[in-house]
Structures are given as C-alpha cells and as structure tokens.
Amino acid sequence: MRQTFLTFLRGGDSALPGYRLSLAATLLWTGFFIVLPLCALAIRPWQDGMGAVVGALHDTRMFAALWTSFSSAALAALFNLPIGLLLAWALVRGDLPGRRVADALVDLPLALPTAVSGITLATLYGPQGWLGAPLAKLGIVVAYSRPGIVLALMFVGLPFVVRTVEPVLKNLPRDLEEAAVLLGARPWQIVLRVILAPLLPALITGFGLAFARGVGEYGSVIFIAGNQPFRSEIAPLLVVVRLQEFDYPGATAIALVLLLTSLAALALVGVVRRKFSAWGDAA
C-alpha cells in the first residue's frame, strides 16, 4: 500500500519530476476554481424548489435575451471569419511596413478592459458620434440596437479568429500553391481548394472561441446595446438585473441555461471541426 503510494508520488515513468504530485495539486486547484463553481451553479437554482425554477424558465423576457445573446454572438463570430482570415493572411504573408505593430494591436481587444471598449464604441457609433452621425444620415442605426451588439462582439472576438488561423497559415507550405499552379489551377481554385480547405479546422476553432467569448461578453456590450428588454437586452445583463432584484433563482436559472447552451454549442463546434480535420490524423 505504502509502496504503491510512493510509486504514484514518484510519477512512474514520466519525464517530469514529481509529475503525479503536481498533477494532483493542479487538479485539486482546478477543482476549486472551475469545477466547484460550475457545480454550485448547477445546484443553486433547485434550492428554492422546483417551482421557482419552472417559474423562472417561463419567462419570455429571458428567452428573448438568450436569443439576442446567442444569435448576436453567432453573427459576430461569422463576420469575424473573413476579417480574421484576411488579417491573419496580411500578418503572415504580407510584408507591409508596421506589420509588427499591427501584430501587437490584434491582441489589444483582449487586454483592454471591456467597459473601455464598450464606452469607446458607444461614443463612436452613438447618434452624435464620429461614425454614428454620418451613418444615421444614411438611415443606418448602429448604437442601441442589435447591430451595435454584433459590432461590440466582433471587436472582442476578432483576436480569437486571427490567432487560431495565423499559425496554421504560417505552417502551410508555399509550394502547395506552386504545385497547384503547375497543375493548372486558376487563382480562385487555389484559394478555395488549396488554402481555405486546410484552414477550415482552424477557422471553425476560431469561430467557436469567438462565439463562446461573445455569449459571455458583458462589459463591452451593455454600453452600446441600449438594453431594451425583448429587443437589445443580452442574457448576461439580465442575470445582473435579476440579481439586483434579489431574484436569485431567476438569475441562476438564466445562468444555468446559458451554461448548458454554451456547452452544447461548443460541443457541436468540436464535432464539426473533427469532421473537417480527419485528414490530419497520422496512422
């Protein structure tokens, strides 16, 4: 007994010293940080009885907010795909001056406090903003409506697409394109069949990450969204609203639905990605 415990601690034949001990410690901490809060989230709604949860789930305002969140996140992630791909392309293949600066700027939306980006976007695209005013003259309303939400989510989601596509693009040998040219492929055929096809798994991953970030995004959205119930109210905001009303079962019920739907969506993205990257598995 003591013997087996010692071998476990020594880590068997792993190259890392003290592998099992550190793994156990890591798992314990991960449990406290991630698994425990998630479990609490799953358990909490039921503590006030089934009735409270069922009542909270029968809320059309909640469903409207969930729909706004998920559809906006999906749209934003979708729009980010071509933009992110082009940016990654410019960073990898382009030799523009200031490429390194641009490279650093791509990550900025991740570092910026989300409230700052939210206020900036709201100011820019507001009815009196630099971009909002001319757009309003054209009859396009961005701020305080759905387009505003999508815009904010695109802002925070873009780095995910760029950073997942970039390394794959970098590792894509140039002679694939040359081979395609010599085999008689025309430029659009090369882009579609030789460049985009192998990038597809990375693009799907980037989409999944940007989507996940978009669903959970709060700070950058609430300033530009207008937050009208049933129209431009996102689910995370509704959670806060419910909390302020001391409606804990309602808040946790929304959170639970949010959690489960996100999980399902990410699982779906994973399945799709695996389907498109079967070619990468070596024997």
Partner 1 sequence: MSVLIQNLVRCAPGTRKRLLNDVSLDVPTGAFVALVGPSGAGKTTLLRAIAGLDTCESGSLLLDGQKVENMQDRARKIGFVFQNYALFPHMTVARNISFGLDVQPRAMRPSQGEIAARVQELLDLMQLPDMGKAYPARLSGGQRQRVALARALATGPGLLLLDEPFGALDPIVRRTIRSWLRSLHDRLGLTTILVTHDQEEALEVADRIVVMQQGSIMQDASPEELDKEPATAFVMEFLGESATFRGVVQDGWFTPEEDGVLPFAVAAEIAPGPADAMIRPFEITIASADLVQGQTVPISSQGVRNGYRHYLARLKDRTIAVHIPDYTGENVLSESYGVLDISRARLFRDGKRYS
Asked if residue 278 binds partner 1 (CB under 8 A), the reply is yes
**Which range touches partner 1 (CB under 8 A), out of 99-107, 193-201, 242-250, 267-275?**
193-201
The whole-angstrom separation of Cα 142 and Cα 139 is: 10
Which of 51, 173 has the CB closer to partner 1? 173
Give the one residue of 198, 214, 236, 250 binding partner 1; rule: CB under 8 A.
198
Looking at 25, 27, 183, 260, which residue binds partner 1 (CB under 8 A)?
A: 183
Q: Which stretch binds partner 1 (CB under 8 A): 6-14, 97-105, 117-125, 196-204?
A: 196-204
Residue 26 interacts with partner 1 (CB under 8 A)?
Answer: no
Contact call for residue 15 and partner 1 (CB under 8 A): no
Distance CA 163, CA 205 (A): 10
User: Per CB under 8 A, which region of 104-112, 155-163, 261-269, 275-283 contacts partner 1?
Assistant: 275-283
Q: Which amino acid is at 185?
A: A
- Decide: is 274 part of the binding site for partner 1 (CB under 8 A): no
Stretch that binds partner 1, among 2-10, 185-193, 203-211, 246-254 (CB under 8 A): 185-193
Among 65, 122, 154, 194, binds partner 1 (CB under 8 A): 194
The answer to whether 189 touches 264, Cβ cutoff 8 Å, is no
**The tokens of 185 are what?**
């492929």
Q: Which is nearer to partner 1, 13 or 281 (CB)?
A: 281
CB of 281 to partner 1, least distance (A): 7
Among 83, 131, 185, 259, binds partner 1 (CB under 8 A): 185
DSSP code per residue over the chain: -HHHHHHHHHTTT-SSTTHHHHHHHHHHHHIIIIIHHHHHHHHGGGGG-HHHHHHHHT-HHHHHHHHHHHHHHHHHHHHHHHHHHHHHHHHHT---TTHHHHHHHHTHHHHS-HHHHHHHHHHHHSTTSTTHHHHHHTT---TTSHHHHHHHHHHHHHHHHHHHHHHHHHTS-HHHHHHHHHTT--HHHIIIIIIIHHHHHHHHHHHHHHHHHHHH--HHHHHHH---TTTS--HHHHHHHHHHTT-HHHHHHHHHHHHHHHHHHHHHHHHHHHHHTGGG---
Q: Which stretch binds partner 1 (CB under 8 A): 153-161, 186-194, 228-236, 256-264?
A: 186-194
Min separation Cβ 194 and partner 1, Å = 6
How many residues at the interface with partner 1, by CB under 8 A? Answer: 24
Interface with partner 1, residue 6, by CB under 8 A: no
Distance from C-alpha of 24 to C-alpha of 8, rounded to nearest angstrom: 10
Please report, as residue ranges, which positions from 117 to 176 form the binding site for partner 1 (by CB under 8 A).
Answer: 173, 175-176
Which residues of this protein are in contact with partner 1, per CB under 8 A?
173, 175-176, 178-186, 189, 193-194, 197-198, 200, 278-283
